[in-house]
């Protein structure tokens, strides 16, 4: 279609176009109209380029800092309807997966598009379990970190370093190689995470136990001391597994975008995953549950909650763990997490901060400030309380997010690689700097 036309849009033209899947744009600078196809609820940004003032004009661009209204891909992995509070992986509601599935089965679903049959699940679990060991040299450079190094810093470095142990991972268009790196990444993340944790305690590393489940083995590598065989508490094992299911993917957020963007240069998946992990390290992404705990500790007692809420409403701070860019209804993951919290507290004892959290939620859900702004608890409001009760220090919270998100990142990366429309990510800019100017020798400068 050659979309550029001169002359204003007449009532007849408008009537003719009514009902067609196009967008008619009138450029008031030139008086030209342009008809742009609409597909899947979107126009192609490149179609705007033909809207020009004259032939020397570069063409119109859209300006969208932080990609607030830009779809960067077509995806078949995760569906979110923020207004309705819906989250689905490959069409399956998160509530059903949290109730009936396991993390490894959900990871298979996210990566392969379908739930595995019994044989496929057995093979998948076998391969992941048999890729949990890490090269002994990795232990050496973990030992080089300072005793109080943040575990996310250690994770980012060691994930990137894996690429040096598996140079064949560069063969990204080889399906067999991609599968192998997937086993390695999902299998080794818990080992790297647990080793980083043990390093910060100065404890010897506990090696993977292939007889345990994915989460059971993670607990083993974290908490095993002198016992010959570590036996994870089944309630805690299942609680952690559900938390992993809830964190497995969340479509095009900051870290998924980092994975796709860095991966679009065709770097190996270990380097791209290190970049995604770095994105998750930031307090606006993976660090919010830590902020929730700090806030609850600052409030200190149930009686001080009303005063804190008053200060939030006066603009003196935020109620951390409330609100979400996408969910303008209760975050479906928060509901599930609240249930898990009770189960974990039964085993570990009630986290004393829980009463404060419940009171914050009770008051906020009845208060017009929060109702009118559609501010509801998000996934982070209760997850930190659970992790703390299970014995994790706050610095491990983003690590517990990065581990299960690895399956989502790999799925996003592979979808990007196999999408023929994708190229190396290269956004445009609106240049507002200087025009060309003469280089001034240093003795002429003021
Ligand atoms: N407490 C009090 N007021 C809030 C909160 C909050 N937690 N969140 C938003 N608001 C207010 C804003 O001040 C604003 O008020 P105004 O209209 O009077 O100016 C209004 O609600 C809209 O807020 P925005 O900042 O436009 O909402 P946005 O969608 O951009 O922000 C965000 C979402 C960043 C999550 C925000 O709600 C927030 O900072 N929450 C606290 C931090 C948090 O819990 N982050 C975790 C998110 S989940 C995750 O990343 C895994």
Residue pLDDT, tens place only, 281-322? 988 888 888 889 999 999 999 999 999 999 999 999 999 999
User: How far, CA to CA in Å, does 176 sit from each of 292, 334, 426?
Assistant: 42, 37, 29
Residue with tokens 């008053």: 310
List of residues 6+ apart from 323 with CB closer than 8 A = 373, 374, 375, 376, 378
* Ligand 1 binding residues, C-beta < 6 A: 285, 288, 312, 318-325, 373, 375, 378-380
Q: Look at residue 17 in the predicted model and tell me its pLDDT.
A: 74
40 three-class SS: coil
pLDDT-derived band of residue 8, with 50, 70 and 90 as boundaries? low
User: Does residue 2 surpass a pLDDT of 50?
Assistant: no
Instruction: Return the number of other C-beta atoms located less than 10 Å from residue 142's C-beta.
Output: 20
Does residue 327 surpass a pLDDT of 50? Answer: yes
Residue 321 CA to ligand 1 center (angstroms) comes to 9
The HSE-up count of residue 323 (CA atoms within 13 Å, CB side) is 13
Closest CA to 271 of 183, 181, 142, 180: 181
Beta-carbon contacts of residue 161 (< 8 Å; ≥ 6 apart): 138, 141, 270
- How many angstroms separate the CA atoms of 359 and 97, rounded? 29
Over residues 177-196, the mean pLDDT reads 98
The one catalytic residue in 380, 419, 434, 443 is 380
Q: Where are the alpha helices (DSSP H) in 211-287?
A: 214-223, 234-246, 254-263, 269-281
179 pLDDT band, cuts 50/70/90, is very high
The pLDDT of 151-174, averaged and rounded, is 97
Nearest residue (CA) to ligand 1, atom 14: 373
Lowest mean pLDDT among 241-250, 266-275, 332-341: 332-341
CB-side neighbour CA atoms (13 Å) of 407: 26
What is the Cα–Cα distance from 401 to 247, expressed in whole angstroms? 6
Residue 4 has pLDDT above 60, yes or no: no
131 catalytic, yes or no? no
- Mutating to test ligand 1, I would choose from 323, 329, 369, 397 the residue with most ligand atoms within 8 A of its C-beta, which is 323
Binning pLDDT at 50, 70 and 90, where does residue 9 land? Answer: low
pLDDT (0 to 100) of residue 5: 53
The answer to whether the pTM exceeds 0.95 is: no
Does residue 86 sit in helix, strand or coil? strand
| CA 254 to ligand 1 center in whole angstroms | 16
Residue 265 to residue 268: CA distance in whole angstroms: 9
Whole-number pLDDT of residue 1: 46
Catalytic: 285?
yes
Candidates 285, 307, 342, 434; catalytic one: 285
Residues 159-175, mean pLDDT to the nearest whole number: 97
Nearest to 305 by CA among 315, 294, 319, 316: 319
pLDDT at position 21 over 50: yes
Query: Worst-scoring range by mean pLDDT, 12-26, 172-186, 218-232, 409-423?
Result: 12-26
User: How does the average pLDDT of the chain come out, rounded?
Assistant: 94
The one catalytic residue in 131, 247, 250, 324 is 324
pLDDT at position 325, please? 83
Q: 240: which 2 tokens? A: 């952690």
Q: Which whole number is the average pLDDT over 97-123?
A: 98
Q: Cα-atom radius of gyration of the chain, to the nearest Å? A: 25
């Amino acid at each position: 279609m050659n979309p550029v036309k001169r002359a204003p849009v007449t009532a007849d033209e408008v009537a003719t176009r009514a009902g067609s899947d196009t967008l008619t744009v009138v450029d008031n600078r030139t008086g030209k109209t342009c008809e742009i196809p609409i597909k899947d609820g979107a126009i192609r940004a490149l179609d705007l380029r033909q809207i020009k003032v004259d032939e020397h004009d570069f063409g119109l661009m859209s300006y969208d800092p932080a990609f607030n209204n830009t779809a960067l891909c077509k995806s078949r992995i995760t569906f979110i309807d923020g207004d309705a509070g819906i989250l689905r992986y490959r069409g399956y509601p998160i509530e059903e997966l949290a109730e009936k599935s396991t993390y490894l089965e959900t990871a298979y679903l996210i990566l392969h598009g379908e739930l595995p049959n019994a044989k496929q699940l057995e093979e998948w679990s076998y391969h992941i379990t048999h890729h949990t060991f890490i090269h002994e040299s990795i232990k050496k450079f973990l030992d080089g970190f300072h005793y109080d190094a943040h575990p996310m810093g250690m994770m980012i470095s060691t994930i990137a370093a894996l690429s040096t142990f598996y140079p064949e991972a560069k063969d990204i268009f080889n399906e067999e190689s991609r599968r192998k790196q997937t086993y390695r990444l999902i299998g080794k993340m818990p080992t790297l995470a647990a080793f980083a944790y043990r390093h910060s305690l100065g404890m010897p590393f506990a090696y993977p136990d292939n007889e345990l489940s994915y989460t059971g083995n993670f607990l083993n590598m974290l908490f095993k001391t002198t016992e010959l065989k570590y036996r994870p508490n089944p309630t805690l094992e299942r609680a952690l597994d559900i938390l992993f299911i809830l964190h497995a993917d969340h479509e095009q957020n900051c870290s998924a975008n980092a994975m796709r963007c860095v991966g679009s240069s065709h770097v190996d998946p270990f380097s791209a995953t290190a970049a995604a992990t770095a994105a998750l390290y930031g307090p606006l992404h993976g660090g919010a549950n830590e902020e929730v705990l700090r806030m609850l500790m600052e409030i200190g007692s149930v009686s001080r909650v009303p005063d804190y809420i008053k200060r939030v409403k006066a603009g003196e701070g935020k109620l951390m763990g409330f609100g979400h860019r996408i969910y303008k209804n209760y975050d479906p993951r928060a509901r599930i997490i609240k249930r898990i919290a009770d189960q974990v507290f039964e085993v570990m004892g009630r986290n004393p901060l829980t009463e404060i959290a419940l009171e914050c939620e009770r008051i906020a859900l009845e208060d017009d400030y929060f109702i009118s702004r559609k501010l509801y608890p998000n996934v982070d409001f209760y997850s930190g309380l659970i992790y703390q009760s299970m014995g994790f220090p706050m610095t491990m919270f983003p690590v517990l997010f990065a581990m299960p998100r690895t399956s989502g990142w790999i799925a996003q990366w592979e979808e990007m690689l196999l999408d023929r429309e994708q190229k190396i990510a290269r956004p445009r800019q609106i240049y507002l700097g200087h025009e060309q100017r003469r280089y001034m020798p240093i003795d002429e400068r003021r």
